Amino acid sequence: MGEAMRGSRLGSTSYEVDPGLYAPRELTTYVCKNQHRVTMPFSIEADEIPDSWPCACGAAGLRQGVQRQPVPEPKHVRTHWDMLLERRSIKELQDILKERLQFVRAKAS
Ligand SMILES: [Zn+2]
């Protein structure tokens, strides 16, 4: 307690922001696929101005001047088959299959 508390007495301190301190704003225009335009004022100090903004029609508006982001390559999902192939070759698998078939047939007869 002490230093940190000084000057931050709740109730007596005004938290109103001085209008003169407002960060400058940048008008960002978004255009949706239906050619609707939405203009949003973002603080240019904002960490990140979104590249898209939902349009009133439901479509996503794309920030003007922004290239449509390349769709990232879908990550290859390893299937059980891929994992199997990492451990065994097709030849090995065929041998195993043959073995299993012989085993099953021997049991069935
Ligand atoms: Zn729209």
Domain ranges of the chain: 23-63, 78-109
Residue 61 CA to ligand 1 center (angstroms) comes to 7
Q: Which residues lie closer than 8 Å to 63 by C-beta, 6 or more apart?
A: 28, 29, 30, 49, 50, 51, 52, 53
**Cα of 72 to ligand 1 centre, how many Å?**
25
pLDDT the model gives residue 70: 61
How many whole angstroms from 30 Cα to the centroid of ligand 1? 9
Ligand 1: centre distance to CA 84 (Å): 48
State the pLDDT at residue 97: 94
CATH code for the structural domain at 23-63: 2.20.28.270
35 C-alpha to ligand 1 centroid (Å): 6
> pLDDT at position 1, please?
52
CA of 47 relative to ligand 1 center, distance in Å: 26
Predicted local distance difference test score (pLDDT) of residue 95: 95
Higher pLDDT, 61 or 47: 61
CA of 59 to the centre of ligand 1 (A): 5
**Average pLDDT, rounded, for the chain:** 79
The pLDDT-based confidence of 31 (bands split at 50, 70, 90) is very high
**Top-ranked range on mean pLDDT: pick from 12-21, 44-53, 86-95:** 86-95
